[in-house]
Amino acid sequence: MIERKNLIVGQSGGPTAAINSSLAGVYEGAKQSGFKKVYGMRYGIEGLLSEKIIDLDDTLNNSLNIELLKRTPSSYLGSCRYKLPKVEANNEVYEKIFEILKKYNIEIFIYIGGNDSMDTIKKLSDYAKLIGSDIRFIGVPKTVDNDLPVTDHTPGYGSSAKYIATCISEIVRDSNVYDLKSVTVVEIMGRNAGWLTAAAALAKNSLNDGADFILLPEIGLDLQGFIKILDEKLSNKNNIIVAVSEGLKDLNGNYISEDEGNVDAFGHKMLSGTAAYLAKKIKSELSVKTRAVEINTLQRAAAHLQSKTDIDEAFNIGFLGVKAGIEGKTGVMMYFERTPEAPYSSTVKSCDINLVANIEKEIPREWISDDGFGVKEEFIKYAKPLIMGELSNIVCDGIQSHIRSLK
């Protein structure tokens, strides 16, 4: 039997309700595979550069903590939004990273994250090739935005979609309390891809009503034309629910809520207030009651509404990421391939990281309604299996328990 060295794992980007289940999967996979130490990076690659490294055996030392970790939202190890520089020889940042990895005798490096995190895996694996390092770099996908290419879907999306659909159903109930004309605009995360906003369509079933309009960033909005359609709709229905992506664009491709001049660490323009802007505009034009509801961070860290399918798959893809590294793979991202037969199932495979890094996957146009105000049955069939099942809660003093935060 080959004697294993050590494994290190980090989390990056925005938190989700499933990212810690992937961490639990990585830890379990590493322990079962005989790694001497399983280290965690505090605050991702940025923390690694400061050598903020912990031994995960100190906290994940029993089955209860593993189960709690799977049910704990957000990033247990902490996160970052740090962009590595361009890969080139004798770069001080990369030299420091690889010195630290050598110091801790790392055999496999696993990074759990979204698009920008996969860029980190690409750059580290490219630098490893440049210097002849045998450390293997594996990306485990995570993003509520569901916008990574190659993979059928991403861990975190199913739980967020479940939460959004539930919220929409409850907002519909709330909006119908009073006998008056109203428009409620619900803002949902999604900069360039509308997967989360499209999940509003899942609220509608044989028992519940859903959103009346779903506005996606894939389709430019003619605002004045839409207000006329709203006016017509209000003539025969009192209360209208509009689900809207934060990244909604006008017909010229400009973000409706773009914050001029402000960008994040990766150069993305900052967005704010799409629902508030639309609600104010609609009220001014139609003289009806309007409300702006911004779900915001709740949709990405609502562990009380985790999808069991999502959590189980997140654990599995983390577990199998370790196996891929042991098999000698590097510069890859693990991904889900959906089996075509019913009932729903998926298998985990790996792909070249170059097929993923810095590429966004949007909703196919053929899944969006012809008028651009909703989604077709193809999307419903795709998304519904991902929100299925509920995890049993581990409760303390009447509320769901989480694993204690790291100091």
Give 263's contacts (C-beta < 8 A, 6+ positions apart). 269, 270
**Exposure b/e, 329-368, CB count within 10 A at least 16 = b:** bbbbbbbbeeeeeeeeebebbbbebeebbeeebbbeeebb
Check if the beta carbon of residue 37 is closer than 8 Å to that of residue 6: yes
- Please write down the HEC assignment for all residues of 216-233: CCCCCECHHHHHHHHHHH
State phi, psi for 334 to the nearest 5 degrees. Answer: -75, 150
Cα–Cα distance measured from residue 358 to residue 117, given in angstroms and rounded to the nearest whole number? 9
Burial class (CB in 10 A: 0-12, 13-18, 19+), 140: buried
Q: What is the DSSP string of 231-245?
A: HHHHTT-SEEEEEEE
Six-digit token string for 130: 């440049």
Beta-strand runs (E) in 342-384: 346-352
| Active-site residue, selected from the candidate residues 116, 119, 145, 312 | 145
Selection from 390, 388, 15, 381 nearest residue 198 by Cα: 381
- Give CA 135 to chain center in angstroms: 27
Greatest extent of the chain over all pairs of C-alpha atoms, in Å: 75
The conformation of residue 277, written as its DSSP 8-state character, comes to H
Which helix (H) or strand (E) segment is 10 a member of?
strand 6-11
Residue 370 C-beta-side C-alpha neighbours within 13 Å: 0
Q: Where are the beta strands (DSSP E) in 95-204?
A: 106-113, 136-141, 182-188
Helix then strand then coil, in percent of the chain rounded to 5, is 40, 20, 40
Q: Is 145 a catalytic residue?
A: yes
d(CA 297, CA 370): 31
Q: What positions carry a catalytic annotation?
A: 145
